[in-house]
């Protein structure tokens, strides 16, 4: 039997010492769970033992870039589409507050209403492009978005989709005379993604009606 259980506070995933300490604490928790199960449900767990624990610490959030566009809670709530979107996301906002936030909320932090069947929002290519770098693309949990939205887009299916888009865009940028990830042909990128089976709404009908979001000024 497998468990996804336990929560460790104040872990800094950019600090190797912090991660090592958290791994030790987590394995002590795993042993404590086994002992409790054996004590209170002996018929099922009396002879159980810990066979394995996670090889890596499951830290959900560390650093994020500031890209040409910052995906907001308003975008998520509005199920917003973008002319330059490279994938869709429908996962709920699954965010754990800090220990202080959890206590203030009584262990029940506010949760934004989940999507219904068939509902999703777009992730713009601009969320993958760091504002001040021409030769870098970022995919996965570190894209340009607010913390709440990161609690949704960090999951594996949409990270895979973003990674595929970033890989194709990187190849396209590298073929330019003066490579620049900000200058990638978005229409060509979206066509290529569709050829590989990506789900992207038909922009021919909706691009003209899509709301325009100005890019953030470059610093």
Q: Kindly list the distances between the CA atom of residue 103 and the CA atoms of 9, 10, 207, in Å, as whole numbers in the listed order.
A: 12, 14, 45
Residue 210 CA to residue 29 CA, distance in Å, equals: 49
Q: Residue 123 domain-assigned?
A: yes
Model pLDDT, residue 119: 96
| 93 and 200 fall within a common domain | yes
40 vs 63: CA distance, rounded Å = 41
Q: Are residues 97 and 50 in the same domain?
A: no
> Which residue, of 17, 34, 59, is where some domain finishes?
59
195 and 97 in one domain? Answer: yes
Indicate whether 185 and 94 sit together in one domain.
yes
My answer on whether 99 and 53 are in the same domain is no
Residues 6 or more apart whose Cβ sits within 8 Å of residue 74: 80
Domain that holds residue 113: 73-206
Please list, in sequence order, all residues whose beta carbon lies within 8 angstroms of the beta carbon of residue 31, skipping any fewer than 6 positions away.
Answer: 50
Same domain for 133 and 47, yes or no, is no
Task: Please report the pLDDT score of residue 55 as a whole number.
Answer: 85
pLDDT at 209: 41
Residues 104 and 137 in one domain: yes
Strands (E) across the chain are located at 85-89, 121-124
Domain count, the chain: 2
Domain assignment present for residue 153? The answer is yes
Residues 93 and 201 both lie in one domain: yes
Residues 100, 34 share a domain: no
pTM: 0.81
Give 121's strand partners.
Answer: 89
CB neighbour class for 141 (10 Å; exposed up to 12, middle 13-18, buried from 19):
buried
Kindly state whether residue 134 falls inside one of the protein's structural domains.
Answer: yes
In a domain, 4, yes or no: no
C-alpha span between 101 and 108 (Å, rounded): 9
pLDDT for the residue numbered 167? 98
- pLDDT confidence of residue 142: 97
Looking at the fold, whether 98 and 174 belong to one and the same domain comes out as: yes
Q: Are residues 86 and 44 in the same domain?
A: no
Provide the residue-wise pLDDT of the chain in tens; the chain has 219 residues: 888 888 888 899 999 999 999 999 999 999 999 999 999 999 999 999 999 998 888 888 899 999 999 999 999 999 999 999 999 999 999 887 676 766 655 555 556 789 999 999 999 999 999 999 999 999 999 999 999 999 999 999 999 999 999 999 999 999 999 999 999 999 999 999 999 999 998 754 444 444 444 444 433
């Amino acid at each position: 039997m497998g468990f996804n259980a336990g929560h460790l506070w104040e872990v800094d995933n950019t600090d190797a010492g912090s991660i090592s300490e958290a791994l030790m604490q987590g394995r002590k928790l795993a042993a404590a769970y086994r002992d409790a199960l054996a004590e209170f449900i002996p018929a099922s767990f009396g002879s159980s033992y810990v066979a394995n624990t996670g090889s890596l610490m499951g830290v959900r959030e560390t650093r994020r870039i500031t890209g040409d566009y910052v995906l907001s809670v308003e975008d998520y709530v509005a199920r917003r589409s973008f002319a330059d979107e490279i994938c869709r996301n429908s996962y709920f906002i699954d965010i754990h507050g800090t220990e202080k936030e959890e206590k203030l909320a009584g262990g029940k932090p506010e949760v934004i209403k989940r999507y219904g069947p068939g509902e999703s929002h777009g992730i713009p290519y601009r969320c993958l492009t760091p504002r001040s770098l021409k030769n870098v693309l970022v995919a996965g949990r570190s894209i340009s978005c607010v913390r709440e939205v990161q609690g949704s887009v960090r999951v594996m299916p949409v990270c895979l989709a973003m990674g595929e888009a970033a890989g194709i865009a990187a190849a396209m940028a590298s073929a330019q005379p003066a490579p620049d990830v900000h200058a990638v042909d978005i229409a060509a990128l979206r066509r290529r993604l569709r050829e590989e089976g990506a789900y992207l709404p038909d922009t021919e009908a909706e691009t003209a009606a899509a709301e325009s979001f100005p890019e953030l000024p470059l610093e």
